[in-house]
Structure 1
């Protein structure tokens, strides 16, 4: 199976090459030339496997230039029990009849990004070898909070790689920032950007397309790659946990083979819900994909307007910062797929987005999207109310992003009357957002560092995740802050790592 650019499908390369390069030279994103299918027999066989086995199987259907043995070894290392607190890598918690929380945050950085970024370093280093790449891979990452730490942790001291993470200086939680600036490893660097996540993401893309920067790195024996979800090696591992959730529901007897489920995902960059779309297209019977947003509701407006995407709006800094995004990069992949791989259309829409900040998709294309997706959003007040309600009524402690998804799903169910069993993706530990969760539960925040972990534990009785407890006493290593216009100057830092 080959991969083609969303903006020029004549550009066709292997899976290994797509992972090694991260983004197409025309700025497009790589998509598989076909979507492999899962039969009922395939799903029944996956039900008998653990998460590692399911992940290796799903990846093998997309990454055909990797052997089954390679992928099984990678999965065993990526999802080792000691990294995820046991053998249940992605626990499915029953919130109430018909509603389930898929906890994706039991990895080493307590965020769902671990599900992909513990796997990506294995895929990337293998891809570099398969493509004959001898240069050091420089991983550039823009983060709204969770991707940065997960990428740093995954690539720390991985041979043949260097990693640089850029985050909005005032756009992440205290714990998220502390996780990044205390990161250990001889091949890592962290830089704050004055601005928001979209500024950081646009600035990183500027490096990828700057010929002088690329030439300078090449002269030093380095080449660029990405750990953001623009990289297919980051997105593909996420498909597995939606397939796995369906298998878990079957194994429990909560559903029967072929029964439909809904999936609700809190997302800003659209990668996490796009992974669910791929699972649906493979054959997992997902009826509705419910896209949950915070006040930065550009995706909600896209779905409710009939296909107009408009980022020309105020940017809100919210208590769910990982979704504080107005440029949802992975929507480009969805447009490419549902339009029948219409690269000319996608290239034109992305050109409009770059030049005017908006675009409208053709009616026939949106008709296909609208039949499968729903969009909804909630503000910070509603998010806090949902956190309190979940804890008071169901004794479930949710983070700010999961609460957004729960609220959006409840609104959807009330509006439509749809009682289809629904899986809600839980994307982070509540201890990563102590200040907001403590406030939501009616507490008075005392301090702004790791002492908040103890305060939240004392309020709720919930255990502090070991990776976060280990932050106490760590000294920051990185304090660089730059204006986004000066990002090209940071390329020199890569040579100094």
Structure 2
């Protein structure tokens, strides 16, 4: 299988090359030239481990990796570093099934893909005989940064540089990043929001003169954001595995449909569910949940993408995004792989912060349903779920649950639903504590302890003692200083 750019250039790569390069030379994103069929019959999936399903799904897309290479990557990624023995529990609560993707080292779903990306990357470098140092450049709205730092810390022949919005992450998220150990790790706060950080990273990627400068010093850029196909494809396994678990629990029989609900800002996680559907997993409706930065909700309802709007800082910061990178991949597929059409849309976004898709793309969007939740509605959902079911949700998962309740009320659809539960409640302890009736403290770590005393829910190992760790990264930059920061980090 080969990977093409969403913007129509002839920059065609195999999987290993696409993983290393990260983004196409024409600024487009790499997408598979076709969708593979499921590597097994639906009924055969029951009883398979997460590792077995991930192995088969990833190898279906990354066909130039050998079976042994994929197995090495999967087994290295999904091991005892995850606190849940099954890696991803599926928990029934409040009339839905919560796919708990947050049991890795950083207590967020980004661990799932960013535990395997370093293995896929280093294996690709060996396969392609790359003798340059790979510089991983990443913008984060909170969770990607720490998970990428954790995954790439001290990985030979790599450097990782992370930019995050100085005012747009929780106290716990920030402390996780700025205490990160590893001789090859570099973390900088940006005076601005996530879109500023993401735009700055893309600008660096698209600077051919800077790329030549790095090449002369023996370095090349790549990404750990979900713009990298090596981040996206491992996520497809979530939804294949979720369906296997639903069959095991006899919630569905092989071939029966289920709904998928995903809280999303950058569209990667829900795009992975779309890919699973294209492989043959019987997803009925893809339900896209946004917070008050509801650019995706409005787009999926109207076909008009308008990023020229007010930006809100919410208590679900990983979704505080107005420019959703992975949506470009969906538009490419729905356009019939028309790179010229997608390039024109993305130029409209760059120049006017707005575009409208064609009638044929709008038709394809009918697989999706979209809604949003305010901060008040998010908090109410957390409180209600805990009071009625004893189940503790983080703010992002609560957005998804509120939107799912709205979907059921509007449609009357009682098809079983899997909700992507994307973070431990302890990562957003301030909001969660207040939502279940505690008086929040100004110190997020005090709220972590109070939440534990109230609920008895286990504190993730990666968050214990976090407030006592040495702060190692103190850089704060203007958004126009990002390229200079990269230069200094690599000296």
Shorter-chain TM-score bucket reads: over 0.9
Aligned to 1:66: 65
After TM superposition, the structure 1 stretch with the greater mean CA deviation from structure 2, 171-180 or 130-139, is 130-139
Q: Which residue of 1 aligns with 2:489?
A: 494
Query: After the TM superposition, which segments of 4 or more aligned residues of structure 1 sit over 4 Å from their partners?
Result: none
CA contact (8 A) 2:54 2:237 kept: yes
Q: Please give the secondary structure, in 2, of the residue aligned with 1:424.
A: strand
Query: By how many angstroms is 1:96 displaced?
Result: 4.1
Please report how far the alpha carbon of residue 104 of structure 1 lies from its aligned counterpart in structure 2 after TM superposition.
0.3
How far is 1:274 from its partner?
0.1
Tell me the residue number matched to 1:137: 134
Task: Show the counterpart of 2:12.
Answer: 12
* Superposition pairs of residues 204-223 of structure 1, within 5 angstroms: 204-223=201-220
Counterpart for residue 78 of structure 1: 77
- Whether the 8 Å CA contact 1:172–1:321 is kept in 2: the answer is yes
Give the secondary structure class of the aligned counterpart of 1:87: coil
1:225 alignment partner, SS class: strand
Report the counterpart of residue 281 of structure 1 in structure 2. Answer: 278
Structure 2 Cα separation of the partners of residues 195 and 95 of structure 1: 38
On the 8 A contact 2:430/2:444 being kept in 1, the answer is no
Whether the 8 Å contact between 1:107 and 1:115 is mirrored in structure 2 is yes
Which of 429, 440, 450 pairs up with 1:434? 429
Q: Tell me how far 1:46 sits from its aligned partner.
A: 3.0
- Give the deviation of 1:71 after TM superposition: 1.0
How far apart are 1:385 and its partner, in Å? Answer: 0.4
Contact map agreement 2:334 2:360 (CA 8 A) in 1: no
- How far does the alpha carbon of each residue in 1:47-67 deviate from its partner, in whole angstroms, 9 at most, with x for none? 232101110100000000111
Q: Residue 220 of structure 1 contacts residue 495 of structure 1 at CA under 8 Å; is this kept in 2?
A: no
Match in the other structure for 1:94? 92
Aligned to 1:233: 230
Q: Contact 1:453 / 1:469 at 8 angstroms: preserved in 2?
A: no
Distance 2:209 2:38 in 1: 45
Partner of 2:179: 182
The answer to whether structure 1 residue 387 and structure 2 residue 387 are counterparts is no
Give the structure 2 partner of residue 121 of structure 1.
118
How far apart, in 2, do the equivalents of 1:73 and 1:127 lie? 12
Aligned to 1:471: 466
Cα distance in 1 for partners of 2:9, 2:248 equals 40
State whether structure 2 residue 253 is matched by structure 1 residue 260: no
Correspondence for 1:414: 409
> More deviation in 276-285 or 453-462?
453-462
Q: Secondary structure at the match of 2:235?
A: helix
| Displacement after TM superposition at 1:2 (Å) | 0.4
**Could you say if the C-alpha distance between residues 472 and 486 of structure 1 is closer, same or farther in structure 2, counting changes exceeding 3 Å?**
closer
* Counterparts of 2:201 and 2:435, CA distance in 1: 34
Q: Which runs of 5+ in 1 are unaligned?
A: none
Match of 1:361 among 357, 361, 380: 357
Take 1:424 and 1:493, find their aligned partners in 2: how far apart are those partners?
A: 42
Which secondary structure does the structure 1 equivalent of 2:246 belong to? helix
Shift of 1:486: 1.5
Gaps of 5+ in 2: none
3-state SS in 2 of match to 1:401: helix
Question: How far off its partner does 1:351 sit?
Answer: 0.5
* Cα separation, 2, equivalents of 1:177 and 1:66: 36
Q: Alpha-carbon deviation of 1:239?
A: 0.3
Secondary structure of 1:137's counterpart equals strand
1:424 alignment partner in structure 2: 419
- The answer to whether the 8 A contact 2:263-2:400 is kept is yes
1:360-406 per-residue CA deviation (whole Å, 9 max, x = no partner) reads 0001211111x200110010000000000000001110000000000
Report the CA distance between 1:24 and its aligned residue: 0.3
Aligned residues: 491
TM-score, normalised by the number of residues in structure 1: 0.97
* Partners of 1:16 and 1:42 in 2: CA distance: 27
Distance 1:48 1:440, change over 3 A: closer
Normalised to the residue count of structure 2, the TM-score between the two structures is 0.98
Q: How far is 1:444 from its partner?
A: 1.5
User: What is the CA–CA distance in structure 1 between the aligned matches of 2:435 and 2:446, rounded to whole Å?
Assistant: 17
